[in-house]
Structure 1
């Protein structure tokens, strides 16, 4: 007959899994109240979880604060994350930010990705958001790194920083076992399209021989619609068709009409 684990923590866990939250809370509260108990930090975290499930947010936060105060290398970080999520759910951003910062301060590496993403969600302004997202990406956690890179790349693309966005996405794709690689590659393709548009615009503005100029105009005019910029594409075509350089205008006309 297998030996049954009768440790109080294990008993509390089984009670919680069986739906007896009150019974679990009694055991965990007793363990958490023992200043010399070896399981004090873990019990306080467990108590915070049980009380949260029971709908007692104030007492759950009190238990989480008690666990955080122990400075335990593992459970203090978990407690800070519990606090931060609780504050976010209740739309208390200042308290949530402080709790996420506390999670980072515990040195618990497992909490760092979540904390950086939490700070990114609660950031005041784009600079703060970008810093938090870069820190989240740097953790190398497969899911968080992917999410952080996607959000950061979208911000950078909106700011016209396509090259930087591409760098962020390449970094994310190099993370072992990173998730949502297809989405990352789509965003990388978009960044490359933006870079292509910028280079082609430069080629059009610099001029050159008629054949090269017409090719640049065609490529730019056919690429812009892929980014939802149909009106800009039409202006590029008109630029070539209305050129004072008759040879260029004719080359552009031939290129535009060849698919007609």
Structure 2
């Protein structure tokens, strides 16, 4: 058995070995330091080091046993770290009851940083049990700044940021954007974090959805209660709300918003909505200063904008163009001169859009324009499929 006074050197050597990946040798030296039975502080250090190394080696039973022994020393420096390590290990294993007991033990050891760590752990355990009120009490305790001008240690700041991110996400899921935004601000006060900034943006998004929704659908107007929005305000609110719903990943909800605006009983409001829905559309030029008729494809563009499916529609169009181009290009490249082959390629290209939702309208538009030019409908029934 090594002498007690050699234990600190053994711990230093074991730490260096562990940092360089020699875990088995490091564990052996930590065990020798423990066996030397040094003073409590060194014993706690050796046991904690042994717990960490055994955990890295995958021997969870040995790691937890060492952590429990380190915790039992009550050492003010190493016992809290052992409790932290042990509780996290138990959480990951699913032993939540024992993990909660260790978190409570960590609370007793004191210190603002480890108190925050313990509260965070207890909040997670309460959430798992469905005790939302108890969990929120612990969350609030984690986010509470220390008294006076006391600065946060690195561990304390990281814990506050992590807890704020976790809590804000849960509050957003529960439909409480205001509380989520408050949690985010308290987290950002402890440290910069991209995840928190994204959650703040999400909270602002929910606020914007609520405000725009109150304009789009203010509910039944009661006599003398408030003012109905002007048409341009209604149109802007519908466009904004539909865009926000699409941004949230709810295209069906975005489509319902557009439909609600288009079907408004207020004609001025519905016209304002339709104008905004169609604003990005390209308008074909008219002839002799006359306004061109509405293109047949506008109804599909409206649907694509309303359902945030414009990329899908564009994909269909490019796929059809590519296929038609290929059908026509092959005989050209091959120098095909036989009329029957060329006609077959043209007919096949002509029928390319037929299987798509908007394909029938392509053929119907050509039939209409040809009929107007010739004064009568000269195409057979079912053209071009039934030619």
Shared fold per TM-score greater than 0.5: yes
**Cα gap change, 1:126 to 1:134, in 2 (>3 Å):** same
How many corresponding residue pairs?
Answer: 249
Q: What SS does the corresponding residue of 2:112 show, helix, strand or coil? A: coil
Larger relative contact order, structure 1 or 2 (CA cutoff 8 Å, min sep 6): 1
| Unpaired segments ≥5 residues, structure 1 | 1-5
Q: What SS does the corresponding residue of 1:259 show, helix, strand or coil? A: coil
5 Å matches for 1:105-254? Answer: 105-122=108-125, 123-125=128-130, 127=132, 128-138=134-144, 141-175=156-190, 178-180=191-193, 182-206=194-218, 207-254=228-275
The answer as to 2:29 corresponding to 1:29 is no
Structure 1 position 240, deviation (Å): 1.8
Mapped to 1, the partners of 2:275 and 2:14 lie a distance apart of 78
CA contact (8 A) 2:216 2:261 kept: no
**Cα gap change, 1:23 to 1:223, in 2 (>3 Å):** closer
**Cα gap change, 1:126 to 1:236, in 2 (>3 Å):** farther
Indicate which of 253, 273, 279 corresponds to 1:258: 279
CA contact (8 A) 1:214 1:248 kept: yes
Structure 1 position 82, deviation (Å): 2.8
CA contact (8 A) 1:197 1:223 kept: yes
Structure 1 position 38, deviation (Å): 5.9
1:3 aligns with none
Structure 1 position 94, deviation (Å): 0.9
Q: What SS does the corresponding residue of 2:37 show, helix, strand or coil? A: helix
CA contact (8 A) 1:40 1:67 kept: yes
**Cα gap change, 1:29 to 1:120, in 2 (>3 Å):** farther
Mapped to 2, the partners of 1:192 and 1:256 lie a distance apart of 24
Indicate which of 86, 90, 96 corresponds to 1:87: 90
Bigger mean CA deviation after superposition, 73-82 or 115-124:
115-124
Mapped to 1, the partners of 2:67 and 2:184 lie a distance apart of 36
Mapped to 1, the partners of 2:144 and 2:122 lie a distance apart of 14
Q: CA RMSD in A?
A: 2.7
Deviations 1:2-57 (A, max 9, x none): xxxx742122331453343324312223325xxx6563433443444455556654
2:12 aligns with 13
Q: Say which one has the larger Rg.
A: 2
Mapped to 2, the partners of 1:146 and 1:102 lie a distance apart of 23
Q: What SS does the corresponding residue of 1:136 show, helix, strand or coil? A: helix
Q: What SS does the corresponding residue of 2:217 show, helix, strand or coil? A: helix
Mapped to 2, the partners of 1:244 and 1:55 lie a distance apart of 68
**Cα gap change, 1:201 to 1:71, in 2 (>3 Å):** same
Q: What SS does the corresponding residue of 2:185 show, helix, strand or coil? A: helix
CA contact (8 A) 1:143 1:179 kept: no
Bigger mean CA deviation after superposition, 234-243 or 77-86:
77-86
Return the TM-score normalized by structure 2: 0.57
| Unpaired segments ≥5 residues, structure 2 | 146-151, 219-227, 282-387
Return the TM-score normalized by structure 1: 0.81
Mapped to 2, the partners of 1:241 and 1:50 lie a distance apart of 66
Structure 1 position 106, deviation (Å): 0.5
**Cα gap change, 1:55 to 1:243, in 2 (>3 Å):** closer
